[in-house]
Chains A and B, each alone.
Chain A
Amino acid sequence: MECKKIQEWLMTDHRDGELNPAEGSELRQHIEGCAVCREFEESVRMTVAAPFRGLAELQPDPVVWQKIRGMIAAEEDRSQGWLRKVERFLQPVLRPLPVFRLAFVVAMVLMVVVLARWPFGRVEPVYAYMEEQAVFLGELQTGNPESSGSDATEYELPSAEMMS
């Protein structure tokens, strides 16, 4: 039972530096007194690392990068193509043609002119009427019908008879 555990450690945790200090000393003590496990340790040392010795880093064929670059370019074209479709769809809204822009500007100018003129055409008679009323009220306060040159005479006060 003890040898099984030790041999498992020899193949895994001991070989990979994962044993804690207490386990390490237990393993060393056992191996010192066990010829079978000593032989097993030697066998692990000789065979387990052997296939991984003398290896070099491999390099992919240069064509692999060409393919990757081509795929990236194709992907970017695809995504840009999608954006272009959206842009074309929204173009009339986002960027109107020059003739529409011109028409829009002319319409705006006309609207401003019309709106600007509209109140002044009506204001003029109002001012004239107010001025006339102001003069009339002034004459009434002074009681001088001559100063007005005036239509005061044109006003006929109602007679007493009529009043009764």
Chain B
Amino acid sequence: MDTSERELIIRAGAGDLRAFESIYQRTAGFVYSLAFRVTNRKHDAEEVVQDVFLKVHKHLRNFKFESSLKTWLYRITVNTALNTAKKRSRVTSREVEEIFEDPATVTQAYGAKGLEAEEAEKKLHGFLEQLNPDQRACILLREIEAMNYQEIAESLGININTVRSRLKRAREALMALGKKEVESHGM
């Protein structure tokens, strides 16, 4: 953690809203990306971002600098997103149909990658739909955030064997999907 980030955290913890806004600007992108991919819904992801930053604002003064701010944010984000996704998964399939969104409408801010990133996001969205929220969280932390098993286990509060089995199931689903795509193109 660099000095400026540490100072920002201290100032924000003391109630400086501008410092807190700087932290938000630096971290909102990965919080939102992770939240969107775990929940697979724009509206839910925005609610997760709000919840996460309100929790951070409330507890920042007690931040002990034992881990990085990013690690702390991952933990809060992934657990808040998982709770939201699990609540959402309890609604009926009809309701799900009504709130379904095209991932292309999620944001215009795909950065310099533009269309390519938008296409990749659509593909990922389709794949993540096949998984349950726990598997989604594991595979995202591994493939996108490049966490090792220990870090994933700590972030999610589960043991390493559970991380391994969730990753295995997620990848099996992915391979089955790939096989199906190959077959449909072949026909």
Contact = CB atoms under 8 A, between A and B. Distances in A.
Interface residues of B, number: 45
B144 A55 contact: yes
Contacts of A71: 50, 54
B117 A67 contact: no
B74 interface: no
A51 B122 CA distance: 9
Interface residues of A, number: 34
B46 A64 contact: yes
B143 A52 contact: yes
Contacts of A153: none
B101 interface: no
Contacts of A72: 17, 20, 54, 57
Nearest to A55: B120
Contact of B124 (A8, A43, A51, A61): A51
B137 to A, nearest CB: 14
A12 B161 CA distance: 11
Interface in A3-34: 8, 11-13, 15-18
B148 interface: yes
A111 interface: no
A18 B113 contact: no
Given A44-B171, A69-B17, A56 B124 contact: no
Contacts of B157: none
Contacts of A103: none
Contacts of A49: 143
Contacts of A46: 178
Contacts of B21: 65, 69
B132 to A, nearest CB: 16
A57 B171 contact: no
A147 to B, nearest CB: 89
A58 interface: yes
A67 B50 contact: yes
A48 interface: yes
Contact of B174 (A13, A48, A58, A69): A48
Contacts of B33: 57-58
Nearest to B124: A51
Contact of B175 (A48, A54, A69): A48
A105 B124 CA distance: 78
Interface string B17-59: 1001100100011101100100000000110011001100100
A8 B169 CA distance: 10
A122 interface: no
A47 interface: yes
Contacts of A128: none
25 contacts: A8-B168, A11-B172, A16-B142, A46-B178, A47-B178, A48-B174, A51-B127, A51-B174, A52-B144, A54-B117, A54-B120, A55-B120, A55-B124, A56-B121, A57-B29, A57-B33, A58-B29, A58-B33, A59-B29, A59-B107, A59-B109, A60-B107, A64-B49, A68-B54, A69-B21
